[in-house]
Amino acid sequence: MKHHFEIKVPHGKLVVVDVSVEDGRITGTQVSGDFFLEPDEAYEALGPALEGASISETTAELQARLDNALARIHDVALHGFSTNDVAVAVRRAVSGGTDFTDHEWEIIHPGPLPTRVNVALDELMLDQVAAGTRGPTLRFWEWEDKATVIGSYQSYVNEVEPEGVEKYGIQVVRRISGGGAMFMEGGNCITYSLYVPGSLVAGLSYEDSYAYLDQWVLAALARHGVNAWYVPINDITS
């Protein structure tokens, strides 16, 4: 069985892999792209380095195979990509991964809504995508009130002051995802949610999936002159 995947390295080059698999093991790998690699011997070593690898091997294990092969060659120089990028592409290929461009997206911007409705929609739409009744969706939230949204695993008493909640008329709600508490106010923040099938992050680690799903946001901000960057595990800062 043949598997194909392409990744555009952020601020780098395109990496394309075509992987042949039999009985759960890689039998051949063709790596291509617009990257630069010296000497030619190094390029010729990439595919053979992965032969025999199990399709269940992690990205780190696949990268180790590539690094070991290149370590035997003198004066190797990779430009616009790394062995990790190749390993990620191979892992995504054999895991049935898809890219943003493989899907038809629905963009939803319903305007200002009550906090509780916004949070309820988050759970509803995620369940719909998981059930296959909705395709990949990007939803922009707008708020008509002031709210503090706490993470799924946070403690109410440790995150908010009840007196302040009452005094300032703050809605406090708990979302279905992890992470920290956030203060939201109508007209003063941009909030969005991605609802995606598992294939979009197939082959990525939990942490790497956040970085991958945030790439489009960073690119969009850059086009508007905002120099923002990703901070693991789930933050964007500038």
CA–CA separation, 67 vs 135, rounded Å? 38
- pLDDT category at 231 given cuts 50, 70, 90 is confident
Rounded-to-integer distance, Cα 200 and Cα 104, Å: 12
At the topology level, CATH places domain 2-97 in Enolase-like; domain 1 (3.30.390)
pLDDT at residue 26 above 90?
yes
Per-residue pLDDT at 187 exceeds 90: no
The segment(s) of the chain belonging to CATH 3.30.930.10 are 101-237
Which tens digit of pLDDT belongs to each residue from 80-130?
999 999 999 999 999 999 999 999 999 999 999 999 999 999 999 999 999
Q: Which two structure tokens, joined as six digits, stand for 16?
A: 């394309």
3-state class (DSSP) for residue 196: coil
Q: Taking all residues of the chain, what is their mean pLDDT, rounded to a whole number?
A: 93
pLDDT category, 179, cuts 50, 70, 90? confident
Alpha-carbon dihedral angle through residues 15, 20, 24, 25, given to the nearest 10 degrees: -80
State residue 11's pLDDT score: 86
User: Which part of the chain is CATH 3.30.390.50?
Assistant: 2-97
Question: What CA–CA distance (Å, rounded) separates 70 from 183?
Answer: 49
pLDDT at 15: 98
User: CA 95, 58, 207, 3: dihedral to nearest 10 degrees?
Assistant: -20
Note the pLDDT tens digit of each residue in 33-71: 999 999 999 999 999 999 999 999 999 999 999 999 999
Residue 232's pLDDT is 85
| CATH number, span 101-237 | 3.30.930.10
- Residue 237 scores a pLDDT above 90: no
Q: What percent of the chain has pLDDT over 90?
A: 78
